[in-house]
Amino acid sequence: MGVAKVKIQHHICTMRKMNTPIRIRMFLAMVGLIVLSFIMTGSISYLFFKAENEEYNLERIKRKEYAIRTTVDYFISNSNEDLYRNPEKLIEVFDDRICELADIHNQDIGFYDFDGKYIISSLPSDFDNKLFPAFLHEELYRNTREQGESILRLTSKEGDEYLISASVVVDEKGRSIAILIFPYEIDKRYDENELRDFFSRLFTIFFVVFLAAVGIALLLSNSIAKPLTRLKERIAQTRLDRNLPIKEKYPPEIQKLVNEYNRMLKALQKSATELARKERDAAWRDMARQVAHEIKNPLTPMKLNLQLLARKHPDLDETIKGLVAQVDAMAQIADAFSRYANIPELQIREFDLNEMLRTNMLVHQHEKVNFIDKTSEKVLFTGDPDQLTRAVNNLVKNALQAGHEGNTPNVEVVLEASTSEVLIHIVDDGVGIPRDKQESIFEPRFTTKTGGMGLGLSIVRTIIDGHGGKMDLKSTKGKGSEFTVHLPRK
């Protein structure tokens, strides 16, 4: 059985290396287990049959022994001979009766004295007596003397098997006078025929069950492998640019795998989007650095030359002032590009976030900016206070510039804190942001406007990302916007 199991496992491993389809592997594994169970059942049945047959033979020999002993005891009790002192007198007692006794019970019998020497048996004296040798078998003799009775299994040279039963014969006074022997031949042909009939019926049953089991195994393997095959084909269609989640329903065991796949797919898509954004931001910063360098270098000599020209030609004063204003505007653009391209590394330390925001709002005390602290205690935060101040200032500045037709909107800066994160809300009642532009609001947008370069929100997002946070936007056109900064508490 162990060898069969090892072979099945070996074939399964071989099929796995050969990339055999899972449906076939499952089917063959099920069939292999069925065959293995049949082999185990047959082996156990054979051992059980042998044990039952052995028990049957022992019970039968005990019944015969009891019947023969009863008759022998009767003859001995009615004998006038002193068999205790003269056990050879058993020849006279059973000379005419031992063959009759053997015929009645269909069983050869014999007597041995207490020295293990042959006295008489139901077989003729001139018969080649292999069942009743001149001296009793040593092991049988020893066990009978010690225990009063014994049974020994012997095999003749011809291959016949016998159960030799031996028991002590006593007289009416309970004295041991001889050893009664009778060999019980085990009919192998009967056992073999019975075993053959049993296995024939068992094989018929197994064959029918095997066919049914193979059919069931085929159905089960198909029912299990079909959704797996469908899932494999669906996963094979996944691309970075086309990674739709799997919405089909599967059996509960496979659905767990599908749910995990969808979760990982969502995480992959998020990572890919984030990677693309960071690469795009890096490209913008490289370009901003180059633009700032190329623009800023000639601006100073240009401005000096214009001022010198104004002193030499006063009549061109108004024209030159306009040109100087354009040079200053270009310098502001270059400065904005330079700040965007060279955001310094974070200087991490612990600080009081409540106090930082409260102090920062003092700059806007003459504007419509209201700071609301919803925390009940000091909020200690680990980060770069200068960079966070810069980020909040940019958000407040954008909010103040979002008024209707040049009107300054009302702005609220709200601080909330929990054990896991800090929330900073910047809320305004300005013009709002159209829905179609909300997705790209954090993208850097280069512009020649003197009032802003379109880089503020991109810088804010870079700072918040550096702190491991994120930003949300809720905006309704004509009603205002709300930026929420999520900062994890470390």
At 273 the three-state DSSP class reads helix
The tokens describing 201, both together, are 């019926």
The tokens describing 225, both together, are 């492998």
C-alpha distances (whole Å) from 407 to each of 367, 400, 402, 431, 451 are: 12, 9, 8, 10, 16
C-alpha distances (whole Å) from 375 to each of 424, 425, 483, 485 are: 11, 13, 19, 16
Task: Write down the CATH number for the domain with range 348-488.
Answer: 3.30.565.10
Which residue matches tokens 């006078």? Answer: 177
106 dihedral zone (left: phi>0; alpha: psi -120 to 50; beta): left
User: Are the beta carbons of 103 and 115 closer than 8 angstroms?
Assistant: no
What integer pLDDT is reported at residue 22 of this predicted model?
66
At 444 the three-state DSSP class reads coil
At 486 the three-state DSSP class reads strand
**Helices 456-466 and 317-341, packing angle to 10 deg:** 20
At 471 the three-state DSSP class reads strand
Low-confidence ranges of the chain (pLDDT < 50): 1-9, 11-12, 15-16, 18, 446-453
177, burial (CB in 10 Å: exposed 0-12, middle 13-18, buried 19+): buried
What integer pLDDT is reported at residue 157 of this predicted model?
67
Length of the chain in residues, anyone?
A: 490
Alpha-carbon distance of 125 to 318, in angstroms, equals 159
The tokens describing 49, both together, are 């049959």
Q: What residues contact residue 419 under an 8 Å CB cut-off, 6+ apart?
A: 489
Closest CA to 282 of 230, 334, 222, 340: 340
What integer pLDDT is reported at residue 449 of this predicted model?
38
Long-range contacts of range 37-43, CB-CB < 8 Å, 24 or more positions apart?
A: 38/206, 38/210, 39/1, 39/4, 40/1, 41/206, 42/199, 42/202, 42/206, 43/1
What integer pLDDT is reported at residue 171 of this predicted model?
79
What integer pLDDT is reported at residue 424 of this predicted model?
94
Alpha-carbon distance of 7 to 457, in angstroms, equals 67
**β 470-476/480-488 pair status:** antiparallel
Give the domain ranges of the chain. Answer: 1-78+188-236, 81-186, 348-488
At 163 the three-state DSSP class reads strand
The tokens describing 40, both together, are 């185990």
User: Are the beta carbons of 383 and 348 closer than 8 angstroms?
Assistant: yes
Alpha-carbon distance of 319 to 307, in angstroms, equals 11
Alpha-carbon distance of 62 to 54, in angstroms, equals 12
Alpha-carbon distance of 355 to 156, in angstroms, equals 109
Alpha-carbon distance of 32 to 379, in angstroms, equals 66
pLDDT digits over 393-421, tens only? 889 888 888 877 767 788 999 999 988 89
What integer pLDDT is reported at residue 453 of this predicted model?
46
What integer pLDDT is reported at residue 447 of this predicted model?
38
At 355 the three-state DSSP class reads helix
What integer pLDDT is reported at residue 20 of this predicted model?
63
What integer pLDDT is reported at residue 45 of this predicted model?
80
19 dihedral zone (left: phi>0; alpha: psi -120 to 50; beta): left
Would you identify the CATH topology of the domain 81-186? Beta-Lactamase (3.30.450)
The tokens describing 118, both together, are 């042959």
- Read off φ and ψ for residue 418, nearest 5 degrees: -130, -175
